[in-house]
A and B are shown apart, each in its own frame.
Chain A
């Protein structure tokens, strides 16, 4: 256990440094893209017929401040705030802290992403094993082809297909947002049922588009393990098929956990198209909105969240290996 704690401490330190570096880079990049939210607001007010003085005043009232400090000072303020988990205040939604806006959006991203990814992982891995074992039969071929096909369809095309089929042609599932507004949010059957109903299509999209990758990855991993000496050895020692099967599965699934953790981390950044198509106000949707409204603070926060998600996913994957792979465990002992 102390070993895991030591590893965790190292990872957290490295992760912290990485987050600061990414925050720095995104801060300067965002500051260098053309466009100024206050100028944009000011122009809008001018166009609506306001006098310049009144417009300046209105912008000031709207945002409550005028940026005055140098870029460097803004940067140190930003990083300083970051250390206190303060990502600043949203520009396009005056008065709302960025962290709160992100948190609100995150819940609409996490549910479908987690559901879809875990479902596709489970199904894909199991079918991948069969595709490998039956790779010389028609069933194996069919599985591999289904994997390649689904892997080849872009996620947004798949999403639109599902919408067309299940929400338009045969309207049995909703595709109009995360939940029906007629239900009172909370732990009541109506709300939860509506939540689940609305999640079906997004989850199916994530699951179907990731499924192919899992089938193909697991198939090739199992084929590799099948050629390993210890499988033949177990057979020659008269081990039961079920035990050999477990040996194969456990060894073959190991490399897939890295992919799983990374894809979870990346997907948490939000799948822009999917959330747009299903009207989910998730993180990807928020990112696009923040760019459209030149909401610097929100943009920086969204980028940072994606970074943090990937870093955390990496850390989780690595710690997980420490638990499940004895070779990683003792590798640390010798250093």
Chain B
């Protein structure tokens, strides 16, 4: 087991879902690199394909979906798209930790957290089970919980924030160094949200992790992520260092997203919701730009040609309008 943060290289990843209308892509040709030791945030609306992307990292896209093309190279594991059976099972949990949305019940309701921890240990051939329990207690204590008590509790006896910390503990306790958090703060109150984000940041630094945070809340990304990737209609439309992207968004969708955030001070009407609705699996256009229906800068070329992904230093954008502007200047 690699004891350092692994790097992850997603290349040309396409995930399709089988529907009555044939196989439709939920994620299309995404390339994204997670540098070792960084926190990457993926932002997108519901249905943008961000959860599908997250599951692809564990090669765990649920049927009727499947990875149709591309690769996910993880240091120390190789291409997880090629893994199957026992190899894949052992990689999950031991190399890659996955943290569920807090509102989801990610624990067996009939067993105590401690017993499920032991099940996890046995599944991964951990010989020193008392050591595993000790480690779990420490992790929980580190996150401000009474470890012994939590391990002795059932899911229904824990609050949302506590469950989320148990989820993080279970993702880390086997010493995984790549952690995927799917909507880690959704359905939590503001104080708990802030707490969880602080824990994510601190644990990330202390344990030397590579972290991927999936969220629809751009505020969460601003809080924790080093790099930000914006997804729309199954495509990555923009990515770059968080500060730069948020400070000077280039893609019209990113700009729309940022404009839609209500501010605590100032006029509430300043927040402007994006007009229109995000595309669903069935309504994603087959050709041309996926965002054109809602885009204020729509041009003729957008209807027919898929904008290519253009890198400019650390920034990457896929938009005809941006490319045209740069060529003009």
Interface of A with B (CB < 8 Å)? 228-230, 232-241, 243, 247, 250-251, 254, 324-327, 330
* Known contacts A326-B154, A326-B156, A330-B154; is-contact A237 B108 (Cβ 8 Å): no
Please count the residue pairs between chain A and chain B whose beta carbons lie under 8 angstroms apart in the complex.
75
* Known contacts A238-B90, A327-B156; is-contact A233 B107 (Cβ 8 Å): yes
> How far, in angstroms, from A254 to B112 measured CA to CA in the complex?
17
> How far, in angstroms, from A230 to B100 measured CA to CA in the complex?
9
User: What are some 14 contacts across the A-B interface (CB < 8 A)?
Assistant: A229-B100, A230-B106, A232-B60, A232-B62, A234-B108, A237-B93, A238-B93, A239-B89, A239-B120, A239-B123, A240-B123, A251-B108, A326-B156, A330-B157
- Taking CB atoms, residues of chain B closer than 8 Å to A235 are 60, 92
CB distance from A135 to the nearest CB of B (A): 13
| Residues of chain B at interface, number, CB under 8 A | 31
Q: Which residue of the partner chain A has the closest CB to B89?
A: A238
Q: Which 9 residue pairs across A and B have the least CB separation, nearest first?
A: A238-B93, A238-B92, A233-B106, A229-B104, A240-B123, A237-B93, A236-B98, A326-B154, A239-B123
Q: Which residue of the partner chain B has the closest CB to A250?
A: B110
CB distance from A324 to the nearest CB of B (A): 8
B124 contacts chain A at the CB level, 8 A cutoff = yes
- Taking CB atoms, residues of chain B closer than 8 Å to A330 are 154, 156-157
B304 contacts chain A at the CB level, 8 A cutoff = no
> How far, in angstroms, from A330 to B109 measured CA to CA in the complex?
12
Q: Are B119 and A228 in contact (CB under 8 A)?
A: no
- Taking CB atoms, residues of chain A closer than 8 Å to B203 are none
Q: Are A233 and B123 in contact (CB under 8 A)?
A: no
- The A interface, classified by DSSP as helix, strand, loop or mixed, is helix
Question: Apart from A229-B104, A236-B55, A238-B93, what 7 extra A-B contacts exist at CB < 8 Å?
Answer: A230-B105, A235-B92, A239-B119, A247-B108, A247-B111, A250-B110, A330-B157
Q: Are B60 and A236 in contact (CB under 8 A)?
A: yes
CB distance from B308 to the nearest CB of A (A): 34
Q: Which residue of the partner chain B has the closest CB to A232?
A: B62
> How far, in angstroms, from A251 to B111 measured CA to CA in the complex?
10
Q: Which residue of the partner chain A has the closest CB to B112?
A: A326
CB distance from B98 to the nearest CB of A (A): 4
- Taking CB atoms, residues of chain B closer than 8 Å to A243 are 119, 122-123
B58 contacts chain A at the CB level, 8 A cutoff = yes
B94 contacts chain A at the CB level, 8 A cutoff = yes
Instruction: Give the contacts of B85-117 with A (CB-CB under 8 A).
Output: 89-94, 98, 100, 104-112
Q: Which of A229, A236, A238, A250 contacts B124 (CB under 8 A)?
A: A238
- Taking CB atoms, residues of chain A closer than 8 Å to B157 are 330
Q: Are B109 and A326 in contact (CB under 8 A)?
A: yes
B170 contacts chain A at the CB level, 8 A cutoff = yes
Q: Are B92 and A230 in contact (CB under 8 A)?
A: no
Q: Are B108 and A240 in contact (CB under 8 A)?
A: no
CB distance from A299 to the nearest CB of B (A): 44
> How far, in angstroms, from A237 to B173 measured CA to CA in the complex?
11
> How far, in angstroms, from A250 to B154 measured CA to CA in the complex?
15
Q: Are B60 and A238 in contact (CB under 8 A)?
A: no
> How far, in angstroms, from A236 to B89 measured CA to CA in the complex?
8
> How far, in angstroms, from A243 to B116 measured CA to CA in the complex?
10
Q: Are B110 and A251 in contact (CB under 8 A)?
A: yes
C-beta contact mask, B59-99 vs A, less than 8 Å → 1, else 0?
01010000000000000000000000000011111100010
- Taking CB atoms, residues of chain B closer than 8 Å to A228 are 105
Q: Are A325 and B110 in contact (CB under 8 A)?
A: yes
